Amino acid sequence: MGKRKIGNLWEVIDLKQKETFLCIDLKSFYASVECVERGLDPFTTNLVVADPDRSVSTICLAITPAMKKLGIRNRCRIHEIPDHIEYIVAKPRMQLYMEYSARIYGIYLNYVAKEDIHVYSVDECFMDVTRYLRLKHHKYVVQSAICDKKVEIERAKLVEQAKNIAKPREKKSCLSEIQLYNSMVLGIQNYYQLATCISIDCREFHRRVMTVLTNRLNTETGSMLKREDGTITQAEKERFGQSKMIRYVSGIDQMIYPIAFIKNKIPMAKRSIVCSYTKEGRAPIHTELNLNQYVLKGLREKISVGHSTEYHDSKISLFSAQKGKCAISGEEFADAEHVAVWLKVPGSLGGFERYKNMVLIHKKYLILLQELPQAAIKDLIKTLNITKKMLVKINSLREQANLSAII
């Protein structure tokens, strides 16, 4: 075993592991760029990059793969191309090619550290990918992590928000600052969870954040940072319940999410048949969701008179998102006629017919979202067998619609 320095970190390496390098040569780079700029396919388009104004013997800097298939050799001269072949002549634009090359290099940096990349030319480079591969079951698998630049950015954001938790900003409470921090944690974990080394990067984030919170929440009477001093929701329990890194601020009932408690997600290959834009492509999506195809078909065929196309599409999307169930009772819809769309913020209060402002409920519950006498509502609650859990959801919708809560 040995070690080598990567940035400010030392990485342990296996000296017996064979080094692995990639050599990347962008295919017909100049010609491909010119085709892309014109909206053409370099594999089917005859194009050469050359300056015919110089002379008929000028050298072609690049030709497309389509021309190579015709037997034209690369780096040929203009007059050597047979007269019967039709082709486009593009004048060289080196600045444009450099810009494309820089953009491609930026993509490399999302996966490989800059010290492991050796740029050989505008369209060629070598990469040392030894440390990005590890032997598993006699096969090499990719090791990936958050790139250095993003690590610095995300760490700075989390540390700054941790400071806001210790000392809330003007017109902000400690609770709201914790909630914002938690949303940042979920965003980072969800976005980078495909990286195989995500837990290593997140442990560094956690260490820096806890250092800030521990120091800034330490008072003369003791630390305000507690291990057990609040509640935990069912969703939080499922995601972070096994973690020993959960912390609370004294007096605040909201937990601070442990960013280091994360396991990488294995990416699954997407089937080529799946597509949101064709009838055949959408079929597997709906089948895998185990939706009631009868109700789904009814919703598709039911014309929403007086409503926009976005309204109709959002209704179908909501049906899939809610897994074909009523947002109040959780029961599956048995018929498309039972499905009612409720605007969380009604149009009279400035609400729009958009996905985020819509929810699907059984039409029998619509009457409970009207302004009625409490006595009449109580009778309806008994008739419809409304449970306490359902009543909480109903009151939430009533509150957003500026209606009084059902007591």
Spatial contact of 205 and 258, defined as CB atoms under 8 Å apart: no
As for how many domains the chain has, the answer is 3
Q: Which of 106, 136, 166 is the last residue of a domain?
A: 136
Question: CA–CA separation, 198 vs 205, rounded Å?
Answer: 11
Our separate counts of H helices and E strands in the chain read 12, 17
Q: Which residues contact 143 (CB under 8 A, 6 or more apart)?
A: 131, 132, 133, 134, 196, 197
Same domain, 179 and 250: yes
Same domain, 113 and 173: no
Same domain, 285 and 387: yes
Joined together, the tokens standing for residue 317 give 């999307």
Q: Which residues contact 322 (CB under 8 A, 6 or more apart)?
A: 359, 360
Closest CA to 200 of 135, 145, 140, 136: 145
Question: CA–CA separation, 1 vs 16, rounded Å?
Answer: 8
For residue 209, the model assigns a pLDDT of: 93
Same domain, 28 and 96: yes
Q: How many residues does the chain have?
A: 407
Same domain, 32 and 129: yes
For residue 312, the model assigns a pLDDT of: 80
Residue 272 located in a structural domain: no
Closest CA to 403 of 341, 346, 328, 329: 346
Q: Which residues contact 256 (CB under 8 A, 6 or more apart)?
A: 165, 178, 181, 182, 213, 246, 247, 248, 249
Q: Which residues contact 197 (CB under 8 A, 6 or more apart)?
A: 143, 144, 145, 146, 264
Question: CA–CA separation, 162 vs 7, rounded Å?
Answer: 26
Same domain, 30 and 80: yes
Residue 268 located in a structural domain: no
Spatial contact of 97 and 88, defined as CB atoms under 8 Å apart: no
Structural domain boundaries, residue 385: 279-400
Q: How many CB atoms lie within 10 A of CB 229?
A: 15
Residue 172 located in a structural domain: yes
Spatial contact of 360 and 339, defined as CB atoms under 8 Å apart: yes
Residue 328 located in a structural domain: yes
Residue 7 located in a structural domain: no
Same domain, 157 and 126: no
Sign of CA dihedral 361, 365, 366, 369: negative
DSSP state of 249: E
SS3 124: strand
Same domain, 171 and 128: no
Residue 274 located in a structural domain: no
For residue 7, the model assigns a pLDDT of: 41
For residue 83, the model assigns a pLDDT of: 86
For residue 289, the model assigns a pLDDT of: 61
Question: CA–CA separation, 104 vs 33, rounded Å?
Answer: 12
What are the two backbone dihedrals, phi and then psi, of residue 339, each rounded to the nearest 5 degrees? -85, 125
Question: CA–CA separation, 13 vs 220, rounded Å?
Answer: 46
CATH of the domain at 130: 3.40.1170
pLDDT in tens for each of the 407 residues of the chain? 444 444 434 444 454 557 788 899 998 899 999 988 888 888 888 999 998 888 778 888 899 999 999 888 888 888 888 888 888 988 899 999 999 999 999 888 877 888 889 999 999 999 988 877 766 666 666 677 888 888 899 999 999 999 999 999 988 899 889 999 999 999 999 888 888 888 888 999 999 999 999 999 988 888 888 888 788 888 788 888 888 899 999 888 888 999 999 888 877 766 666 666 566 766 666 555 677 888 888 888 776 667 766 788 788 888 888 888 999 999 999 898 999 999 998 888 888 888 888 999 999 999 988 888 888 888 888 888 989 899 999 999 999 988 888 87
